[in-house]
Structure 1
Amino acid sequence: MNPYVQVVNTCLLGEAPHWSERTQSLYYVDTEGTAVHRYDPVTRDHTKATIAGLGSVSLIVPVAGEVDKYVITTGRELQVLEWDGKDDRPLSLEPILSVDEPFPNNSFNDGKCDAMGRLWAGSVNPFALPNASLYKVDHGIGTTMESDIRISNGIAWSNDNTLMFYIDTATRRVDVFDFDETDGTISNRRTVYNFNTVGELGSPDGMTTDVNGHLYVACFGGSQVIKIDPEQGTKIGSIRFPTFNITSVMFGGANLDTLFVTSAQSGLSQPILVSQPMAGATFQVTNLSARGHSANEYNL
């Protein structure tokens, strides 16, 4: 693939892109910069609000049926954020729940909503110890769905919502569960694509799917997004970027045919940052001949 790539802006640790069809805007976070961002690709307007003093911010998802309300994470807490998308400070924050109480050094990491509006979000241990978890949050009630996780990351669903793809970055695998959409349960975990056995560059981070059922996986430390056929367990394409730490991906735009890709300055030495001035940029990738799915919102 040789798509056109456009730089949007720069973060310390860009993550969790979410395309809102309601506002025709891209929302994402700067985890280490503790900020939420909004970007309009038509007007190129970019705004952000800093969430000060509450820890890392790892995801943002609009609340279904509400204007200017989102669920976000701050440290180990899930909160409802009220933000007009313009001011540099939130209008309000209201805690929903806290996770990993026995492990105060842990924090929330990546997460997305399923088609029923349940939030699936995991945690991360700063030393990659296996004491993090994957949670399902349904109308404010959190349930532990997987334990012994190190770095909970990318989540995506198959077109028919019978499969949930999942990444624990420390394993360097893309796994899949059987998914029961009605009950919101997962089972029969197995591996779709193993970075270790194929010698893939980087480690799997965030991911998304297209309407053809292909996976797009951000490769942290690998300077790329790879395209995977999950039925065959094979890589069928890659997109290269001018910086090492690619963090997450999401289709968006009016036709859901633009791939937004976040990246990070975090973890790079000063000499590398000098040689990679686009580190931390959010990239806008077109001409992929692929379309994504509408992103799900959270049912509060």
Structure 2
Amino acid sequence: MQVDSAVPAAARSGRAPTWDVGTDTLLWADPPTRSAHRFVPGRTDHAMELPQQVSAAKPRSLGGLALHLTEGIALFDSTGSHRTWLVYWAREGVQAGATAIDAKGRLWATTLGEGGWLARVTGDGKASIALKDLPAGNGIAWSPDNTRLYLADGATRRIDVLDFDLDSGALGDRRALCEVDGEPGGLCVDAEGSIWVAVRDRGEIRSYTAEGALDRTIPLPAQRPTDCCFGGPDLTHLYITSATDEVPEPTETDGSVLIIRNLGTGLRPCSFAG
């Protein structure tokens, strides 16, 4: 399996790779450097500097971006010149975590740290806590039929599953899907229902079945992979962000955005309805 460097970078902690189907570009973030990026395949990687740490940039159905910042969720217009707060939830000791958009255009976001939570945000800015006591919610994704929400928990080192009602956004009871031999980072789901997860302290990308069985392990040329998503014109390429932070002796590929071509077919990404 050939793994290439799509974006040669030295990101301190690359996060939230997101394929923007409207522009055929890859969004990703590097929280410690307070930067959100847009990578144009075959051309260049554009960086946007921000006033605080940003863990994700997601496309909006109205144009522009929804940004998960340290102090909450902010909206940028299509020109990228005007920023407004949609939800402000600043708390001491809490950092921005994982971010995902469901098929109804709702934004789901975790915060990292003691007392962290999983929040649900609608397009009009109404926010509610969907899950409490989540200090290390590293990844969020849904099954192809939108009846399950998957949650990567770095604290318990496992992937959990919750029943999900798409119309209401309600969650069922949380239960373990599988133990991960390592720290699970961000995750995504392909069209066949397989769950792909970056294992941060193993230098691997793995896939698990919907039943929680380990299906595949792919070693990576980056020691600390952080997150993954399917992208490309046909959603057949897996993009993987990585970090240099907490890597004692980084190589030239640590901190890069990696790509594995023609690995499968991903689910069509959704845009925030705000």
Q: TM-score, normalised by structure 1?
A: 0.87
Question: Which stretches in structure 2 are left out of the alignment for 5+ residues?
Answer: none
Corresponding position of 1:9: 8
How does 1:15-94 map onto structure 2 within 5 Å?
15-41=15-41, 43-52=42-51, 54=52, 56-66=53-63, 69-82=64-77, 84=79, 90-94=80-84
Give the Cα separation in 2 of the matches to 1:165 and 1:77: 22
Per the TM alignment, residue 281 of structure 1 is displaced from its structure 2 partner at its CA by 0.4
Give the Cα separation in 1 of the matches to 2:262 and 2:104: 31
Can you list the C-alpha shifts for 1:9-53, whole angstroms capped at 9, x where unaligned? Answer: 211111001101110000010111111101121x3221111113x
Give the Cα separation in 1 of the matches to 2:77 and 2:220: 34
1:107 is aligned, of 95, 98, 123, to 95
Is 1:279 the counterpart of 2:258? The answer is no
Q: Is the 8 A contact 2:100 2:107 kept in 1?
A: yes
Give the Cα separation in 1 of the matches to 2:154 and 2:148: 19
Which amino acid is 2:75 matched to? Answer: V
Secondary structure of the residue that 2:33 maps to in structure 1?
A: coil
Corresponding position of 1:98: 88
Give the Cα separation in 1 of the matches to 2:172 and 2:95: 25
Give the Cα separation in 1 of the matches to 2:28 and 2:159: 22
Give the Cα separation in 2 of the matches to 1:191 and 1:203: 15
How does 1:170-209 map onto structure 2 within 5 Å?
170-195=155-180, 200=181, 202-209=182-189
Which amino acid is 1:280 matched to? Answer: G
Q: Is the 8 A contact 2:191 2:267 kept in 1?
A: yes
Can you list the C-alpha shifts for 1:188-246, whole angstroms capped at 9, x where unaligned? Answer: 21111112xxxx2x300100011100000011111011010122x21111121122211
Per the TM alignment, residue 252 of structure 1 is displaced from its structure 2 partner at its CA by 0.4
Corresponding position of 2:104: 116
Per the TM alignment, residue 97 of structure 1 is displaced from its structure 2 partner at its CA by 1.2
Which amino acid is 1:47 matched to? Answer: H
Can you list the C-alpha shifts for 1:120-143, whole angstroms capped at 9, x where unaligned? Answer: 101001xxx3x1000000121110
Which amino acid is 1:207 matched to? Answer: L
1:217 is aligned, of 177, 197, 206, to 197
CA RMSD of aligned residues (A): 1.3
Corresponding position of 2:131: 146
Q: Is the 8 A contact 1:70 1:80 kept in 2?
A: yes
Which amino acid is 2:120 matched to? Answer: K
Per the TM alignment, residue 287 of structure 1 is displaced from its structure 2 partner at its CA by 3.4
Q: TM-score, normalised by structure 2?
A: 0.95
Secondary structure of the residue that 2:214 maps to in structure 1?
A: strand
Which amino acid is 1:59 matched to? Answer: A
Can you list the C-alpha shifts for 1:249-280, whole angstroms capped at 9, x where unaligned? Answer: 000001100000000011123xx12xx22111
Corresponding position of 1:133: 117
Q: Is the 8 A contact 1:7 1:278 kept in 2?
A: no
Give the Cα separation in 2 of the matches to 1:292 and 1:154: 16
Give the Cα separation in 1 of the matches to 2:62 and 2:78: 15
Per the TM alignment, residue 83 of structure 1 is displaced from its structure 2 partner at its CA by 5.8
Show structure 1 runs of 4+ deviating over 4 A.
Answer: none
Corresponding position of 2:213: 234
Question: Which stretches in structure 1 are left out of the alignment for 5+ residues?
Answer: 85-89
Distance 1:4 1:148, change over 3 A: closer
Per the TM alignment, residue 76 of structure 1 is displaced from its structure 2 partner at its CA by 2.1
The alignment-based identity, stated in percent, is 26
Q: Is the 8 A contact 2:72 2:85 kept in 1?
A: yes
